[in-house]
């Protein structure tokens, strides 16, 4: 809902709540729930016709240290190890205070989704690229809706709610269908409006090469209006030019698509598969490297590449009919069929697969250093499955600067009174590049922090509204 400046046709309504939350994804719903649970009147606002934002397109995966799943599997993990993994991926540009707070609360965050909303996760942990050990839990359907829908249901059931001085936020101005609402907030405003991957003009300013020709995985509402309005009231931006490409997307479909969603574990995270350059018929990258490494390696090829697994590896994917993914997903009954489909040399391709299978047998990938699980299997059982890959803009690591209490910071270094933020709209947690399954953790952990803190921020605000367009 964007601000409408046509005062002649605009009706203005004023209402008062304790807190307003902008955005209804993982971060926004977590914040709204925690504030409402503490008895606050919360107005939950989203510009899109359906709630959930990018979170409904999420693969339902969340990283956590110290889960019972890790204990059962005998996986040794620690806050320090996950912190090291994220710092390595983020080239040490991550803000340590935010990183420490999020990771130390990772299992508590997952457990909260289970106890408060009844979210169920699979027993088998996923080995995501850039993570030293398997620590990613996946919902039963590998879908963000597994989390969003129960959250929405419980928040709607709770419905005891309604939807200054200088350097204070006293409320927001929301316009929709000819009506402007001045939502006055006694406690504060939480920004959880997400990133700007779909905002081509804004992201092109940050990274000029990410223009019109670079596709995005995000829903069309992933734009920068709220960030820009926050900058007008002297909110401090951080690392806006750090924009992530998803290396597991297919050029043969629009947006996020079905291929990375339905085959995220096997083909596109490559735990049980390999990536091949069709020009050479050889591997060229660590399939479990972080997203930046894989994206840059693919872009360096100058053309889409091919990832593949066999029928055994496909069993670790979603329990869905793989045929539904045609024509993005290809099935092959022989090496010759794979080679013919992509113009590869069948002899070299067979040598590449044999060499990879030998690495699996040894338990060590001497070519690219891919981490091979103890249960890794060779690629031998037909049919093989394949998908073409080409990176798309996926996540914005930069955004508004917050402190560890989720307060938005002023350009002069102090918290803006009454203004909080959580999720992808913020920056600093992931540094230069984000590891898979850490965004869900980021959104829910800091959403909860923002919701609790806005609820205890008890000052009554007076003054002019800051116009936050959504």
Across 8-17, 73-82, 90-99, 121-130, least confident range: 8-17
pLDDT at 24: 96
Question: For 127-170, what is each residue's pLDDT tens digit?
Answer: 888 999 999 999 998 889 999 999 999 998 775 443 334 466 77
pLDDT 10s digits, 319-352: 455 555 667 888 899 999 999 999 999 999 999 9
Q: Which residues are catalytic?
A: 291
Q: For the chain, what is the HEC assignment?
A: CCCCCCCCCCEEEEEEEEEEEECCCHHHHHHHHHHHHCCCCEEEECCCCCCCHHHHHCCCEEECCCCHHHHHHCCCCCHHHHHHHHHHHCCCCCCHHHHHHHHHCHHHHHHHHHHHHCCCECCCCECCCCCCCCCEEEECCCCCHHHHHHHHHHHHHHCCCCCCCCCECCEEEEEECCEEEEEEEEEEEEECCCCCCCCHHHHHHHCCCCCCCCCECCCCCCCCHHHHHHHHCCECEECCCCEEEECCCCCCCCCCCCHHHHCHHHHHCCCCEEEEECCCCEECCCCCCCHHHHHHHHHHHCCCEEEEECHHHHCCCCCCCHHHHCCCCEEECCHHHHHHHHCCCHHHHHHHHHHHHHHHHHCCCCCCCCCCCCCCCCCCCCCEEEEEECCEEEEECCEEEECCCCEEEECCCCEEEEEEECHHHEECCCCCCCCCCHHHHHHHHHHHHHHHHHHHCCCCCCCCCCCCCC
The string of pLDDT tens digits covering residues 215-242 is: 999 999 999 999 999 999 999 999 999 9
At residue 389, the pLDDT reads 92
Least confident of 115-124, 205-214, 254-263: 254-263
């Amino acid at each position: 809902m964007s601000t409408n400046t046509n005062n002649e046709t605009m009706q203005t309504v004023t209402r008062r709540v304790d807190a307003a939350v902008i955005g209804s994804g993982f971060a926004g719903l977590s914040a709204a729930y925690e504030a409402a649970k503490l008895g606050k009147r919360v107005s939950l606002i989203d510009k899109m016709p359906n709630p959930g934002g990018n979170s409904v397109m999420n693969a339902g995966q969340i990283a956590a240290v110290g889960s019972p799943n890790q204990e059962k599997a005998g996986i040794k993990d620690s806050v320090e190890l996950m912190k090291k993994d994220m710092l390595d991926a983020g080239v040490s540009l991550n803000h340590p205070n935010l990183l420490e707070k999020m990771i130390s609360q990772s299992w508590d965050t997952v457990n909260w989704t289970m106890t408060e909303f009844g979210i169920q996760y699979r027993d088998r942990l996923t080995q995501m690229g850039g993570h030293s050990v398997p620590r990613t839990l996946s919902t039963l359907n590998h879908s963000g809706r597994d989390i969003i829908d129960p959250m929405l249901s419980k928040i709607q059931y709770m419905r005891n709610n309604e939807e200054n001085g200088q350097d204070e936020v006293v409320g927001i101005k929301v316009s929709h269908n000819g009506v402007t609402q001045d939502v006055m907030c006694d406690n504060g405003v939480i920004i959880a409006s997400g990133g700007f991957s779909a905002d081509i003009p804004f992201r092109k300013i940050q990274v000029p090469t990410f223009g019109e020709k670079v596709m995005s995985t995000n829903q069309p509402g992933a734009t920068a209006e709220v960030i820009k309005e926050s900058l007008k009231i002297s909110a401090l931006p951080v690392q806006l030019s750090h924009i992530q490409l998803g290396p597991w997307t297919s050029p043969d479909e629009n947006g996020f698509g079905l291929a990375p969603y339905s085959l995220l574990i096997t083909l596109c995270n490559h735990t049980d598969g390999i990536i091949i350059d069709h020009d050479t018929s050889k591997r060229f990258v660590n399939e479990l490297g972080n997203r930046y490494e894989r994206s840059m390696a693919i872009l360096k090829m100058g053309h889409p590449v091919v990832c593949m697994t066999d029928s055994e590896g496909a069993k670790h994917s979603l329990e869905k009919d793989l045929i539904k993914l045609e024509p993005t997903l290809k099935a092959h009954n022989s090496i010759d069929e794979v080679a013919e489909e992509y113009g590869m040399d069948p002899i070299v391709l067979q040598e590449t697969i044999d060499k990879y299978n030998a690495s699996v047998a040894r338990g060590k990938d001497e070519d690219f250093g891919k981490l091979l699980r103890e249960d890794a299997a060779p690629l031998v059982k037909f049919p093989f499955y394949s998908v073409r890959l080409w990176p798309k803009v996926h996540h914005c690591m930069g955004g508004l600067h917050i402190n560890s209490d989720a307060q938005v910071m002023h350009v002069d270094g102090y918290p803006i009174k009454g203004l909080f933020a959580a999720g992808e709209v913020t920056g600093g947690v992931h540094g230069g590049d984000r590891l898979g399954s850490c965004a869900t953790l980021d959104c829910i952990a800091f959403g909860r922090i923002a919701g609790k803190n806005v609820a205890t921020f008890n000052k009554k605000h007076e003054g002019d509204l800051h116009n936050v367009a959504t």
